[in-house]
Amino acid sequence: MKLENVVPWGRSFEEYREMFSLSEDDLKKFILGCGDGPASFNAEHSSQGGSVVSIDPAYKFTAQELQSRIAEVYDEIMPQMQANKDKYLWESIPSVEALGNIRMSAMEKFIADYEKGKEEERYIEASLPTVSFSDKQFDLALCSHYLFLYSEHISLNEHIQSLIELSRVAKEVRVYPLLSLDGKISTHLQAAMSALGDLGLSTSLANVGYQFQKGATQMLVVKSV
C-alpha cells in the first residue's frame, strides 16, 4: 500500500456502538476491528478499559504521515459529500459541516493515540483475507465500511475468504454496511451467506439503530454453530 492510496475517513466510538448494536456486554468482550483506519473506536474504547485490536494496511505508516494524508483527503472528500448529500440521511448528523467536524474529531483522537497504540499492539498492520491471529482469539470481530461496501473492487471469493478468516479468529463476526457504494444491497451478500452456510457457519441479518447512508439499516452476523 502506498500513502497516496490511503483514504482516511474515521468514525467515532458512538458510531461503532450504533452501527454494530454493541451492548454493554459486547463492550466487555475482546474485540477485533477490521479495516478500522483512523476511526477513534480503539482509542476511546481502550481509554475506558476496553480490550480491542485494530487491523489495517495503513498502519504501516507513521502518525505524521497519516496526519498529513488526513489533511489532504479531507479537502477532497468534503466537496464530494456536498455534491452527493442526497444519498445520505441528515438526521443524527445534521449537515455536511457537522459530518466534517465529527470525522475530524475522530481522526484527531486516533492520531493522538496511534503511536502508543502501536507500542501496545492495538494497531497492527494487516489486511484481509489472511490474518495471523490464533483460532477464536477474539470474542467479536467488527468490519466497518469495507466488505460489501466495495463490492466492485473486492471479488465474491475475497469476501467469502475474508469472512471465513474472521470466523476463524473470532466467535462472532459483524459486518456493516451491506450496501455497496451505489446504495444498493451488495450483489455478493446472498452468495457469501450461502457459502458460509455450506461450511456450517450461521449467518443472519440484524437491524441496527444507525443509518447515514440511505438504506443501510442492517448488519450481517456470522457465528460458529
Segments making up each domain of the chain, as ranges: 3-224
The pLDDT assigned to 225 comes to 75
Is the confidence at residue 43, as pLDDT, over 70?
yes
> Which of the four pLDDT bands, split at 50, 70 and 90, describes residue 3?
low
Residues 190-204 have pLDDT tens digits of: 999 999 999 999 999
User: 173, 128, 164, 121: which is closest to 146 by C-alpha?
Assistant: 128
Mean local confidence (pLDDT), 58-83: 92
> Could you give the CA distance from residue 192 to residue 104 in angstroms, rounded to a whole number?
34
The pLDDT assigned to 8 comes to 74
Contacts of 207 (CB under 8 A, 6+ apart): 217, 218
Mean local confidence (pLDDT), 119-137: 97
What average pLDDT does the chain have?
Answer: 94
Specify the CATH architecture of the domain 3-224.
Answer: 3-Layer(aba) Sandwich (3.40)
Query: Has this prediction a pTM greater than 0.75?
Result: yes
Residue tagged 444507525 (cell numbers) = 210
Q: Burial level of 79, CB count in 10 A (0-12/13-18/19+)?
A: exposed
> Could you give the CA distance from residue 26 to residue 109 in angstroms, rounded to a whole number?
22
